[in-house]
Amino acid sequence: MGKYEHDAREMLKLVGGRENIVAVTHCMTRMRFALADPSKADVPAIEALPVVKGSFTQAGQFQIIIGNDVADFYDDFVAISGVSEASKADVKAAAVGNQNPLQKAMGAIAEVFAPLIPAIITGGLILGFRNVLGDMPYFGPDGTQTLASLSQFWTGVYSFLWLIGEAVFHLGIPVGICWSITKKMGGTPMLGIVLGLTLVSSQLMNAYAVPSATAADWATHTWDFGFAQVHMIGYQAQVLPAILAAICFNYYERFFKKITPTVVQMIVVPFCSLLLGVMTAHFIVGPIGWAIGAAIGNIVNLGITGPFRVLFGAIFGAVYAPLVITGLHHMTNAVDLQLIADYGGTMLWPMIALSNIAQGSAVVAMSVLQKKDDKAQQVNIPSFISCYLGVTEPAMFGVNLKYTFPFICAMIGSSLAAIVCTATGTTANAIGVGGLPGILSIQPAYIASFAICMLIAVVVPFTLTFVIGKRKGIDKGVGVENVSLEGNEIAAIPAAQDLSSLSVDGTLRAVVTGTAVPLSEVEDQVFASGAMGKGVGIRPTEGEVVAPADALVTVMMAETGHAVGLKLGNGMEVLIHVGIDTVEMNGDGFEVHVRQGQLVHAGDPLVSFDRAKIAAAGKKDTVMEIVTEPGEAGELTLTESGSVRAGKTPVVKF
């Protein structure tokens, strides 16, 4: 078994056990689960596992961020759980049942655009470099010339780069959408590409020339069928016409495959489906998609440029990050592309880039606050770097949402930056380049205003997060240090508190009166296996749990009362777990006597429990007393049989 055996066993229990896993796979950094009942996953406890950097649910999948070692962890998890390996497609299919209709629609949009993202990012960078070369008059002796005007070489580069920029945004978007949808719907991808090419053919009037077309232009760009005339309109950079055309084509292909004999399918199906698909695209859904897309673009543009544009910016800047959590942010790609097609630029994308920066800045503040916490820095530093480069998920799910207040601080900073962004009309030429490099996609006239917005998106979230984090004691090590196996309440505790005043006499006494049994005999497999550590089980005769030694209460499941975590002066950590599956009682029959962060002495009462109520609930009341971390202690000697008295009988010596 590999090095992640312990964490894999814990994760299996915390996701609800083998029976709750429909399918599981992994990607570059995450475990991806399709769970039968997502509510059974104990998210706080999962995120407290040492190997876990964060978790989130998206598109019906419960995703746990592991990092670069995810493949090794996955192998151990599969070996321990007995779950068969599944492909990403299997997990996606299994996860669909956990989605509502809106999530399914957004998931479909995301899957259509996901394969196009590398090209969109590349195209955005290319247009950004062209901005620098040909549209920024800040060079030359007097500082009023562009690099392209100063050098024939840069003029050639400027012209050459348009080859790629045009291929991505003017021609590639419709073709890529048709290919992606056809692939997703199980059609013939090459036919999808051909369909897309018919939308951007050079025979058609370029979409950008349509608004200013004259009668003479239409005379040479009209199909005349005698009984009807149809304008030969190109759909360069258009999104909705391509989506509608591809969907219609794929249904045609399915239909003809169904009714055509196998022997002639190779001829009939491609011919009929593509012919009808192209006719439908240019005669029906193309014009409809153009009109709908234009309407959406007009509405969004009105919001961005109208009298309430500052309010629009404030709202969009604040809510974009929450949209990422739901997956709804994928729809902004289509809106951005529509704005670029209709207006030659988008004011939406700059605000998205600013949201990336704001989330990253909040993590920078957390990194400064937690500079002495090596474990936290392993998540913080890679997270804010990737966030500043436009990839927000590690920062949001690994840090900001974990503590909540950095996420809110980032939303505030993003909102303020978006207000300035919309007030100044800051516009981008292209999309795909997020975070700090996003400035490359901004139109030269607005680079200065965007720089100011970037400064706001850095300073405000950093300052708010730092001040609030300071008040919460994050810089002093306050955070989640330990966790019980079950439950849904984990509050912050003072992880760095001085424990030198606690006496250590080398003994853990029984936490409850009853009969000691070997841990291997308790009714919970995880405890019995010793995966949590060495310890004893006690079958109680009384219902009061006491402290086994002088210690700090690091975990107190105040809502359920079923588990307590302690830390001794020598660094030893002890988990006291009352009963099996008693978390399901939701605290009924339990009374808590201490709070998290409190210092207790040997024999102090911690929790009282009603044995009769536990029995009536059909649960076992066996109490587990486990050393989860030995600290500076040496070999442990256990008392695993006989009668024991709470606070009196030694059960662990070290």
Q: Using the predicted structure, report yes or no on whether residue 91 has a pLDDT greater than 80.
A: no
Determine the longest span between alpha carbons in the chain, in angstroms.
Answer: 103
pLDDT of 497: 53
Alpha-helical runs (H) found in 114-239: 117-134, 147-150, 152-165, 173-184, 189-199, 215-220
332-389: pLDDT as tens digits: 767 777 788 778 888 888 998 899 899 999 999 999 988 877 777 877 887 788 778 7
> How is residue 396 annotated by DSSP?
I
Supply the pLDDT for residue 152: 92
- pLDDT for 472: 76
Class of domain 5-99: alpha beta
DSSP 235-250: -TT-SHHHHHHHHHHH
Residues 596-646 have pLDDT tens digits of 778 888 899 999 999 999 988 888 899 999 998 888 887 888 988 999 999
pLDDT digits (tens, 9 = 90+) for 556-598: 877 788 889 898 888 888 999 999 888 778 888 998 888 777 8
> How is residue 389 annotated by DSSP?
T
Per-residue pLDDT band for 237 (boundaries 50, 70, 90) equals: confident
Closest CA relative to residue 171, chosen from 208, 141, 133: 208
Return the amino acid letter for 630.
P
Active site residue 272: no
CA distance 396 to 381: 13
Residue 137 binned pLDDT confidence (cut-offs 50, 70, 90): confident
Check: CB of residue 223 under 8 Å from CB of residue 273: no
pLDDT of residue 66: 81
Average pLDDT of span 402-421:
90
For residue 409, pLDDT beyond 70: yes
Instruction: Determine the pLDDT at residue 487.
Output: 33
> Starting from the edge strand earliest in sequence, which strands make up the sheet with 637-638, in order?
507-509, 650-653, 637-638
What are the DSSP calls for 483-516, one per residue?
Answer: --SS-S----EETT---TTS---SEEE-SSSEEE
d(CA 187, CA 648): 73
β-strand 551-556 against 599-600: which pairing, if any? antiparallel
Average pLDDT over residues 73-82: 85
pLDDT at residue 478, as a whole number: 45
In this prediction, residues 196-216 reach a mean pLDDT of 88
Neighbours of 132 (CB within 10 A): 18
> CA distances (Å), 390 to each of 121, 320, 359, 442, in order?
10, 13, 10, 15
Angstrom distance (rounded) from CA 382 to CA 395: 8
When the pLDDT of each residue in the chain is averaged and rounded to a whole number, the result is 82
pLDDT digits (tens, 9 = 90+) for 300-329: 778 888 888 899 999 988 988 877 654 455
Higher pLDDT pick, 523 / 232: 232
| The token pair that represents 138 in the structure block | 């800040």
Average pLDDT, stretch 175-200? 92
Q: With bands split at pLDDT 50, 70 and 90, how would you rate the model's confidence at 546? A: very high
H/E element, 546: strand 544-546
Q: Which of 107-111, 497-501, 538-542 has the highest mean pLDDT?
A: 538-542
- Mean pLDDT over 80-102 rounds to 56
Rounded to whole angstroms, the Cα distance separating 49 from 47 reads: 5
When the candidates are 3.30.930.10, 2.60.40.10, 2.70.70.10, 3.30.470.20, the CATH number that belongs to 481-653 is 2.70.70.10
What is residue 435's predicted lDDT score, i.e. its pLDDT?
Answer: 76
Residue 557's pLDDT is: 76
State the alpha helices, DSSP H only, in 442-557.
Answer: 447-472, 525-528
Q: What is the pTM of this model?
A: 0.51
Q: Which of 121-130, 206-215, 576-585 has the lowest mean pLDDT?
A: 121-130
Same fold, 5-99 and 481-653: no
pLDDT of 512 strictly over 60:
yes
Burial class (CB in 10 A: 0-12, 13-18, 19+), 142: exposed
Residue 82, judged by CB atoms within 10 A of its CB (0-12, 13-18, 19+), counts as exposed
Q: Are 183 and 192 in contact (CB under 8 A)?
A: yes
By the 10 Å C-beta count (0-12 exposed, 13-18 middle, 19+ buried), 617 is classed as middle
Task: Tell me what pLDDT residue 491 has.
Answer: 35
Identify the burial level of 501 via C-beta atoms within 10 angstroms of its C-beta, where 0-12 means exposed, 13-18 middle and 19 or more buried.
Answer: exposed
Q: Where are the domains of the chain?
A: 5-99, 113-200+235-305, 310-328+342-476, 481-653
CA distance 37 to 292: 39
Average pLDDT over residues 194-216: 88
| Residue 156 confidence (pLDDT) | 93
Q: What is the pLDDT of residues 15-40, one digit of tens each?
A: 988 888 877 877 656 788 888 888 88
Give burial (CB, 10 Å; 0-12/13-18/19+) of 197.
middle
Q: Cβ(53)–Cβ(375) under 8 Å?
A: no
The pLDDT tens digits of the residues spanning 450-474 come to 999 999 999 999 999 999 988 877 7
The yes-or-no verdict on residue 230 having pLDDT over 60 is yes
